[in-house]
Chain A
Amino acid sequence: MLQYLVRRLLWAAVLFLAVTVVTYVIFFIIPANPAQQAAGKAATTEKIEQVEKFLGLDQPVYVQYYRFMKRLIVDQSLGRSFATRQDVNDIIFDAAPITASLVFGGVFFWMLLAVPIGILSALRPRSLLDRASMTFVLIGISAHPVWIGLIFVYFFSFKWQITPISGYCDIVNGSTGCGGPIDWAYHMALPWATFAILFAATYVRMIRANVMETLNEDYVRTARAKGAPESQVIRSHVLRNSMLAVVTMLGMDIGLALGGAVFTETVYGLPGLGRVAIESINNFDLPITQGVVVFGTFSIIVFNLFVDLFYAWIDPRIRLA
């Protein structure tokens, strides 16, 4: 187990290096001048050069990368924004809880939808429920989150005025004027729904297929031959085995979910990591972009590690391998 952990952590370090290098390289391939952006449109050439020097942009890419890594490892700092000189750590720290609310709430709701629907449609294939859920799946898979978001906002917020159009409230009383768990959930309801539909669709289909496959396993027949009632057969023999693949997918989809969060946050005006990333890219604000990438990579690595350990817990064949 320890050896497994060490190997996983080493691999995570390699992954981390690769992702940050790629972000750096992409950034410097883009034909843009961040110093110009930071200094403003009216700045003279001298002024721009001065800014360039101040930001360290006059140095070669590898020196900049070295400085970035050194700062990150020695000071645990992601640096300061090119444009506003704000501490990137603070920006990330403010935005991360919003994205986390969205992603975890979304995961919760999508599993809440997908697990029962998936199981029921597997147990009653070709029933009305199965057909209805397949329609839902098709819509979910085909529709883009931005489109779903806009449709939701139009009906729920604009026409029926059930939910707020956009904005975010902190779960603990914040400085934003609104706050607390109720305001938080009230503002997150539509983003969660949007997010959940997007993924629930894929998961309904996957869970349905897995459960149907597991139902045909010999050990399920063995359980029935033992005289186990159907509910116990499903609970004890079908579910756990069919959830193995789902857990794996969930681990892989956390990364995808963060990507999905970018769209959802944009539609609902949530000041989360997705929006921070998009703004920073528009402003050529490398430290912020890099900060989001570093944080995102780190989260994904941690989640994957967590999922792997969880997986080992539910499947003894992996635990002992």
Chain B
Amino acid sequence: MALLEVRDLRTSFRTDDGVVKAVDGVDFSIEKGKTLGIVGESGCGKSVTCLTIMGLNNRRNTISSGQALFKDEDLLTMNSRRLRDVRGNDIAMIFQDPMTSLNPVHSVGRQLVEAILLHQDVTKKAGKARSLELLKAVGIPRADRRIDDYPHQFSGGMRQRVMIAMALVNDPDLLIADEPTTALDVTTQAQILALMNRLQQEFGSAIIIITHDLGVVAEVADDVVVMYAGQIVERGPVDCIFTRPHHPYAWGLLGSLPRLDTDVERLVQIPGQPPSLLNPPRGCRFHPRCPYVMEVCRTDHPALLPLSDDADHLQRCHLDEETKDREAAKLLAGTLAEAS
């Protein structure tokens, strides 16, 4: 049984300009102790997917449907009391910007203790001891002295460590990390990823990591979901996506990665902008930007289907498998740049 199983998740926002379908029928699942990477451009719905699972969207203008079964309980229809018990306790979340995600007027210790006292029946003193333990575990130097410091006294990387510590104080089964390294500089990114990997071994939590950085996915994920315009365009074990990508959008993402092993004149870029979700294009949502566009792409919306020889690897594209395998091979050899 999957730890979290998301079925046909849809989230729309009512705005002054109309209804924005930010997430439009997303399915995925994650097993205990595994890591799932969700990749895609800004605005493709990856953050909204996770905020919907956590019930953190603004209720006033959001409509959600579908199911998010966590240990067989649907998070979307759960009453708010039960949901609060789950949040921070069974499912914890780390956000993109550690600079703004901690409350500036409370000491970090106080914020960690708050997270503990919300879910555990312990004294403040015990809570503080546990907080200190976690701050040490995430590698904050002189944690015993820094526990009473305020967020502005920490650097970005240290703040993200505090956020991770805060997410882990209650031993969650699932950790959702929304672009945890995006706001950090490259060396700090590597440290934070290594830390998350190490803590996953130690605590056994499953992790959903949202990112636009395929490098991060390659490093930490077991399974990958590639999202485009509110939908999944490719999904499968991490090896498949990197060795046999089958969607032109995934090729674009892979081709835009700088590589050391091949000589590429120019990095591939995906032309154009992601479509407006107020009024997504007819047919395949990627067709206006796709170099392989065919007549059928403009009229028929492709379904998310498994490959004929690999049932775990799903993709949403009208191209025939032969062409896709050929183009993927070219891309991996570093020659797609010339071809397109």
Q: A residues near B, CB below 8 A?
A: 217-219, 221-229, 236-237, 240-241, 314-317, 320
Nearest-neighbour CB distance to chain B for A214, whole angstroms, equals 10
CB<8 Å pairs between A and B, sample of 18: A218-B101, A221-B56, A222-B103, A222-B166, A223-B103, A224-B56, A225-B56, A226-B115, A227-B85, A227-B86, A227-B87, A227-B89, A227-B115, A236-B114, A240-B105, A316-B107, A320-B150, A320-B153
Q: Assess the A225–B104 pair: CB atoms within 8 A.
A: no
- List A contacts of B119 (CB < 8 A): 227
Cβ-based interface call for B34 (8 A): no
The closest CB in chain A to the CB of B152 belongs to A317
A-B contact count, CB below 8 Å? 72
Q: Assess the B150–A227 pair: CB atoms within 8 A.
A: no
In this complex, the interface size class of chain B, counting residues with CB under 8 Å from chain A, is: 20 to 34
Residue-wise interface mask of B (95-112) relative to A, using a CB-CB cutoff of 8 A (1 in contact, 0 not): 101001111111100000
Known: A226-B166, A317-B150. A219 touches B104 (CB 8 A): yes
Nearest-neighbour CB distance to chain B for A208, whole angstroms, equals 16
- List B contacts of A222 (CB < 8 A): 93, 95, 101-103, 163, 166
A237 and B106 CA atoms in complex are apart in Å by 9
A316 and B54 CA atoms in complex are apart in Å by 31
Q: Assess the B95–A218 pair: CB atoms within 8 A.
A: yes
Nearest-neighbour CB distance to chain A for B27, whole angstroms, equals 23
- List A contacts of B105 (CB < 8 A): 240-241, 314-316
A60 and B309 CA atoms in complex are apart in Å by 105
Q: Assess the B150–A219 pair: CB atoms within 8 A.
A: no
Q: Assess the A226–B88 pair: CB atoms within 8 A.
A: yes
Q: Assess the A237–B103 pair: CB atoms within 8 A.
A: yes
Cβ-based interface call for B318 (8 A): no
Q: Assess the A227–B103 pair: CB atoms within 8 A.
A: no
Residue with the greatest number of chain B CB neighbours at <10 A, chosen from A226, A237, A240: A226
Residue with the greatest number of chain B CB neighbours at <10 A, chosen from A223, A227, A229, A314: A227
Q: Assess the A228–B114 pair: CB atoms within 8 A.
A: yes
Residue-wise interface mask of B (181-197) relative to A, using a CB-CB cutoff of 8 A (1 in contact, 0 not): 00000000000000000
Partner of B87 from the list A224, A317, A320 (CB cut-off 8 Å) is A224
The closest CB in chain A to the CB of B150 belongs to A316
Nearest-neighbour CB distance to chain B for A225, whole angstroms, equals 4
Known: A224-B56, A320-B153. A241 touches B85 (CB 8 A): no
Q: Which parts of B130-175 form the interface with A (CB within 8 Å)? A: 150, 152-153, 163, 166
- List A contacts of B103 (CB < 8 A): 219, 222-223, 237, 241
Q: Assess the B100–A225 pair: CB atoms within 8 A.
A: no
A225 and B105 CA atoms in complex are apart in Å by 18
The closest CB in chain A to the CB of B103 belongs to A219
- List A contacts of B150 (CB < 8 A): 316-317, 320
The closest CB in chain B to the CB of A216 belongs to B58
Leading 3 A-B pairs by shortest Cβ distance: A227-B88, A226-B88, A227-B87
A315 and B56 CA atoms in complex are apart in Å by 27
Partner of B118 from the list A221, A228, A314 (CB cut-off 8 Å) is A228
Q: Assess the A225–B92 pair: CB atoms within 8 A.
A: yes
Nearest-neighbour CB distance to chain B for A12, whole angstroms, equals 28
- List B contacts of A219 (CB < 8 A): 100-104
- List B contacts of A316 (CB < 8 A): 104-105, 107, 150, 152
Residue with the greatest number of chain B CB neighbours at <10 A, chosen from A219, A224, A225, A229: A225
Q: Assess the A225–B88 pair: CB atoms within 8 A.
A: yes
Cβ-based interface call for B84 (8 A): yes
Q: Assess the B56–A227 pair: CB atoms within 8 A.
A: no
The closest CB in chain B to the CB of A126 belongs to B60
Nearest-neighbour CB distance to chain A for B104, whole angstroms, equals 6
A224 and B84 CA atoms in complex are apart in Å by 8
Partner of B95 from the list A221, A228, A236, A314 (CB cut-off 8 Å) is A221
- List B contacts of A317 (CB < 8 A): 104, 150, 152
- List B contacts of A240 (CB < 8 A): 105
- List A contacts of B93 (CB < 8 A): 222, 225
- List B contacts of A218 (CB < 8 A): 95, 97, 100-101
Q: Assess the A226–B114 pair: CB atoms within 8 A.
A: yes
The closest CB in chain A to the CB of B163 belongs to A222
Residue with the greatest number of chain A CB neighbours at <10 A, chosen from B88, B93, B105: B105
Nearest-neighbour CB distance to chain B for A226, whole angstroms, equals 4
A314 and B150 CA atoms in complex are apart in Å by 12
